[in-house]
Amino acid sequence: MTIMEDQKHPNYFRVAWQSALAAMLCFGLPAGLLFWLILFQRTEASTSISRMITLLQDYGILEIALYLTGALTWGIMLARISGYHPEWRLAVVTVLGASAGRWSPLTNLDGVLSGHMPGLPVHVVFSAFLSGFVFSVTAFVGLAYGLMLRSLKATLTLALTASLPSMLATLLMIVILDQAGIRVGMGDSAMPKVTAVCTLASAIVGGAALGIGFSRFVGRKKT
């Protein structure tokens, strides 16, 4: 069932929160799953959680499988939210965009910075990596959606309106956590905490932005 009750007057508030929730479940939680498990394990030791952590650390293919499954599920959910058909096409395009974003050169900003400025603090380098990763994934997914709709305007708009807010959300959370005394490189499980929180926040913001933007372009094509 789609939330687009009226294609001429869609309820974008509902589009936003449902897209944000879907992105959190499909992207945010799977992306930060290992780090959430590490935090839970350090709070309350558990044999089952320890085994899950070991599996994810030893078999990177499991993390990749979770990521791609999440992208596929997000595509199906966004199709239902926006009223786009066929659902399978959006699901496939989402997987392709998310894959391109995950392995694009933009995810290597930390390596570029470290190579040109080797004296940078660890938390700055990590911030570059995380924000670059978030920007890359959301930008490529937006690009993929625009290309699927065969619209240059949609391609540029969806890429920028999704990637920039999600990246800014990541940086904002890094600053907030830093002010709270949680900085990567200072111990106290700072890296898992920052990664888990930032991936969740960026997924929520990026999901809402993509949901609204994509739904608008779909609505225009139907009129």
160 within a domain of the structure (yes/no): yes
Residue 2 lies in a domain: no
User: 146-205, pLDDT tens digit by residue?
Assistant: 999 999 999 999 999 999 999 999 999 999 999 999 999 888 889 999 999 999 999 999
pLDDT in tens, 94-145: 999 999 999 998 888 788 777 777 788 899 999 999 999 999 999 999 999 9
* Token pair of 34 as six digits: 């290992």
* Boundaries of domain holding 70: 12-222
Structural domain includes residue 3: no
> Does any domain span residue 5?
no
Domain total in the chain: 1
Buried b (16+ CB within 10 A) or exposed e, 73-111: bbbbbbbbbbbbeeeeebbbbbbbbbbbbbebebbbbbe
Is residue 130 in a domain?
A: yes
Burial of residue 10 (number of CB atoms within 10 Å: 0-12, 13-18, 19+): buried
Q: Determine, yes or no, domain membership for 1.
A: no
Position 7 in a domain:
no
Question: Does 95 map to a domain?
Answer: yes
Which tokens belong to 67?
Answer: 């990521």
Give the pLDDT confidence of 2-58 residue by residue, as tens digits. Answer: 444 444 556 889 999 999 999 999 999 999 999 999 999 888 878 889 999 999 999
Which one, of 122, 29, 17, 132, lies nearest residue 77 by Cα?
Answer: 17
CA distances from 162 to 32, 83, 203, 212 (A): 19, 19, 10, 10
Burial track 11-42 (b if 16+ CB lie within 10 A, e otherwise)? ebeebbebbbbbbbbbbbbbbbbbbbbbbebe
